[in-house]
Structure 1
Amino acid sequence: MATGYAATGGAAGHTAQTPLTGRRIAITGGTTGIGRATALLLAGEGAQIFTCGRDPEHLGDCLAAVRNAGGTIDGLALDLAHEGAVDRFFGAAEQAMGGIDVAVINAAVPASGLTEMDEAALRYAIAADFTAYLVSAWRAAAALSGKNGDIVLVGSMSAHVLGGHSTVYAGMKAGIAGFAEALRREMGGKGVRVGLVEPGLVGTDFQYPDIPADKQRAMIADEKMLRAEDIAVGIHYFLTQPRRTVVQQLVIVPRVNEE
């Protein structure tokens, strides 16, 4: 029996790839950093993108960049930490694209040590980085069940590299890691692939003000920090694998790792 990609006319030794052309992809937090790089890459391969971000100026810049590169994208400015915002985002995405095939759940805000935050900041971080993630996955699962869809959760190596100034963020990302593995098992029989991409240190706006732009550029040049595009390529890898496979967890870290 013929097997692999060669059976469909590809090169021997290669497996089949799932094409991105025409795929309808909702990306939360897609106006800066990893989300923006992912929108640019996937739109460049023919996917239709709908995204969101908190800053209208960043949203406009992202939409213009993708469109100028020949991609198809739309989106809206909103804060997913607010009640009802997740449903508003997915409703708008489904209306704009006629449904969704993929959800990349990426939107997040920085959080520091538990004793370094006041209650309001703590509650907001939980709403943005944990509650909105789970509600986004719930909304995506409802839209994708039985339709050969994909859910990609963008986590963080902070779930594993634990520091005293990252207790809140690390706790939430560790929770996302466990959630992603369990959700993969829950959704696999429903035709939905669920995977987790865990980046190491990435040069993005997310690092401000702790790591200013000039220091980020130097760290990237020294290969001690990743570019957002490196993570976008990982998400692309997950989405283009054969439907029979799931990239359950993909860890991407700088080659020169001082942790």
Structure 2
Amino acid sequence: MSQLAEPPVRDETDAHTGQPGLAGRKAIVTGGTTGIGRAIAILLAAEGAKVFVCGRTPTHLDDALARIREVGDGDGLSLDLTDPAEVKRFVAEGARYLGGIDIAVLNAAIPADSLSDTQADDIPYIVDTNLTAYMTAAKAALEHLGPGSDVVIIGSMSAQSRGGESTVYAATKTGVQAFAEALRKELAEKDIKVGNIEPGLTGSDMQLPDIPPEKQREMIHKGDMLRAEDIAAATHFMLTQPRRTAVSLMRVEPRLQTR
């Protein structure tokens, strides 16, 4: 361009992609009564989404709903997701309460140890909670999800680190990782987005009793551990991207986590 030519008109509109909001959306959240799921449900409700959650413990459900209703609208059920009939009931009741479903957050999980430290009789229940229930809940939700919907799967960095101290847990979360990737490909043409968020070490009841609450707070302050709300923020980011954009995998780790 000649130095005498007029400079181009500054136009920054193309530098800012549109971010859809969450107001008016209808979300179910499995494991939405404690930890990461609770934080996600609260943030979604605060952003204007209507939420329906589930958890295994009635007192945890009551606590979560009290907080959700302080910032928005929500309801839920106490149930066990290892029972396929209960999964169907949760999704059906959620769709009824919400008036449909356009966000499914699949999060419910329980801790598990190495194979040596796990009772053989406990393995089927762990697998059913940490892997099978993701598939049965997704299957039930698909009856309600249409174009413009989102599935957010909460996996774990254990699918990458695969530490020997958590053999059984790592196996289930590796399965969740594969499921999320394949489901994204299956549903892409239907305009149903699927994303997998893999948190690193996160403060929650799942760390008890190995890491007591006071130790968790110390680790969070130092940057050795995430807060559950950090994963809620990642979920918010994933859900507020344009429909052309699929954030298929996010790994969120404490700044000082190196293993």
Same fold (TM over 0.5): yes
- 2:122 paired residue number: 121
Aligned partners of 1:5 and 1:244: how far apart in 2?
20
Which aligned pairs between 1:151-230 and structure 2 lie closer than 5 A?
151-230=151-230
Q: Kindly indicate whether the alpha-carbon contact (under 8 Å) linking 1:140 and 1:151 is maintained by their aligned counterparts in 2.
A: no
Structure 1 segments of 4 or more deviating over 2 A? none
Equivalent residue letter for 2:52 = F
Unaligned runs of 5+ in 1: 7-11
Aligned partners of 1:210 and 1:235: how far apart in 2?
27
CA 1:58/1:175 → structure 2, altered by over 3 Å: closer, same or farther? same
Aligned-pair distance for 1:5? 9.2
- 1:19 paired residue number: 21
Q: Kindly indicate whether the alpha-carbon contact (under 8 Å) linking 2:104 and 2:152 is maintained by their aligned counterparts in 1.
A: yes
CA 1:168/1:63 → structure 2, altered by over 3 Å: closer, same or farther? same
Count of residues in correspondence between the two structures: 249
Aligned partners of 1:170 and 1:233: how far apart in 2?
24
Aligned-pair distance for 1:167? 0.8
CA 1:171/1:238 → structure 2, altered by over 3 Å: closer, same or farther? same
Q: Kindly indicate whether the alpha-carbon contact (under 8 Å) linking 1:153 and 1:197 is maintained by their aligned counterparts in 2.
A: yes
Aligned partners of 1:247 and 1:218: how far apart in 2?
31
* TM-score normalised according to structure 2 size: 0.93
1:141 aligns with 2:146: no
Aligned partners of 1:138 and 1:243: how far apart in 2?
22
Equivalent residue letter for 1:54 = R
Equivalent residue letter for 1:29 = G
- 2:35 paired residue number: 33
Aligned partners of 2:44 and 2:89: how far apart in 1?
23
Unaligned runs of 5+ in 2: 1-10
Aligned partners of 1:236 and 1:5: how far apart in 2?
25
- 1:97 paired residue number: 98
Could you report, residue by residue, the CA deviation over 1:84-137 in whole angstroms, capped at 9, with x for unpaired residues?
A: 111011011011111101000000001111121112211110110011011111
Matched residues, percent identical?
50
Aligned-pair distance for 1:258? 4.0
Aligned partners of 1:217 and 1:167: how far apart in 2?
26
- 1:61 paired residue number: 63
1:232 aligns with 2:239: no
Aligned-pair distance for 1:143? 1.8
- 1:255 paired residue number: 255
Equivalent residue letter for 1:60 = D
Aligned partners of 1:258 and 1:184: how far apart in 2?
29
Aligned partners of 1:246 and 1:72: how far apart in 2?
27
